[in-house]
Each structure stands twice: as C-alpha cells, then as structure tokens.
Amino acid sequence: DVTAAANVPITATIIVKAGQTYDGKGNTIIAQGLGDGSQSEGQKPIFRLENGATLKNVKIGAPGCDGVHVYGNATLDNVEWLDVGEDAMTLKSKGTVTLNNCIAQKAADKVLQINADGTININNFRVTTFGKVLRTNGSGQYNVTVTINGGTFNGGTNIVRTESKNLRVRYRNMSTSNVSKLWEVPSSSQVSTY
Ligand code: DGU
Ligand code: CA
Ligand code: CA
Ligand code: CA
Ligand code: CA
C-alpha cells in the first residue's frame, strides 16, 4: 500500500505468541521505559518471540534495550537493528532460529547471544560495528550448529566467540573487513566452509 513507514512508540515488550507473525511493515519501533540500550544487564526485550513465531519487516530503533528474546523456534525476516542495545537477539530456550536478510548496526558488544542449545541459520546478514556477532553464554557447553550463508561483517572483534566444544560453524559467501579474529573457538576443527 502507500502508507509511509513510521515510528511506533512502545512502553512494553511486544509478545509474538506461538506460531504467530508480527509484520512491522517497515516501521521503526522506539521503546520507552524498557532500558537505555547500554551494556547494563536486565533491560527488557523489545520483542519476545514464542515457539514458532515470525518477526518480519521491522526496524528496531534506539534504544535497542535487550533486543529480541526467542523461546524455541523462530524466523526473523528483514529485521534491522539500527543501534543494537545490550545485545540484539537472545536464544533463551532450545530451538532453531533462522535470520533472513537482517541488518544489525552499532553493537557495543554482542549481536546474537546464545543461552541454550540450538540451530542458528544466518542467511544474508549485514553487521556493522560489533564485538561478537555470535556468542554463547559464558563457559556453557551448548550444543549449537551455526550456518552462515551470506554475510557482510564490518568492524568488530569476532564472528563467533564460544567456550563450547559442542558448537559447530559452517559458512559460505561471507565477507569480512576489519574483524580482529574471525573464530574465537576452542578448536579450529569446529569451523568449516561448505
Ligand atoms: O553471566 O548471565 O550476557 O543474556 C552473566 C549473565 C550474562 C547474560 C548474557 C545475556 O551472561 O546476561 O545478555
Ligand atoms: Ca554485554
Ligand atoms: Ca549480556
Ligand atoms: Ca549500540
Ligand atoms: Ca542481553
């Protein structure tokens, strides 16, 4: 249609219930009262995606707060974080998360925070200015499979940082610039192209 994109103010986390889709139609979410987008923990998420939810066509403006929390499986299509807050997306419970054609900018530290076992499929992700694109929580030995099919990563420390010996990452069609060390993983055998 002809409706112009707009800013959408929110004062509470948007919950996308199991199996449902939130289509932002290109609008930009501006949170108020959920956090300041700094590195302080305990900020609230902008979105909470329950199992099987889809989030699409949305921009998350500053403050990015604690981004998008995912419980189980989820799909993120054309989601753009204009200024990542504490982190951009957190896997909170076991599941498969697919990100298609997403963009994340200005992440002071982590973009994708993995706090559970999971499969993370990344298709055409563009990230500019970051600490780690993907980080598993602390010393947790999560079972994680990461597949990157298309990505442009510019200005950061790591693409993946993990202490888990049970994480595998496969990648292709990836381009990086100004990234200090692509893979901060226990063993280089955990990383392959495909
Ligand atoms: O270890 O649990 O950074 O989900 C301390 C905390 C920390 C998490 C994580 C997250 O690891 O808060 O943002
Ligand atoms: Ca942090
Ligand atoms: Ca954190
Ligand atoms: Ca930021
Ligand atoms: Ca967080």
Give nearest CA residue, ligand 1 atom 7.
Answer: 137
Output the tens digit of pLDDT for each of the chain's 194 residues.
Answer: 667 899 999 999 999 999 999 999 999 999 999 999 999 999 999 999 999 999 999 999 999 999 999 999 999 999 999 999 999 999 999 999 999 999 999 999 999 999 999 999 999 999 999 999 999 999 999 999 999 999 999 999 999 999 999 999 999 999 999 999 999 999 999 999 99
| Ligand 4 geometric centre to CA of 124 (Å) | 21
CB of 119 sitting under 6 A from ligand 1: no
Q: How far apart, in whole angstroms, are the C-alpha atoms of residue 84 and residue 164?
A: 24
Ligand 1, pocket-test mutation among 110, 113, 114, most atoms within 8 A of CB? 113
Which amino acid appears at position 89 of this protein? M
Which amino acid appears at position 78 of this protein? N
Q: Which neighbouring-strand residues pair with 183?
A: 160
Phi, psi of 41 (to 5 degrees): -75, 165
Among 128, 91, 86, 127, residue whose Cα is nearest residue 110: 86
Q: Establish whether this prediction's ipTM goes over 0.90.
A: yes
Residues with CB under 5 A from ligand 2 (ion): 39, 109
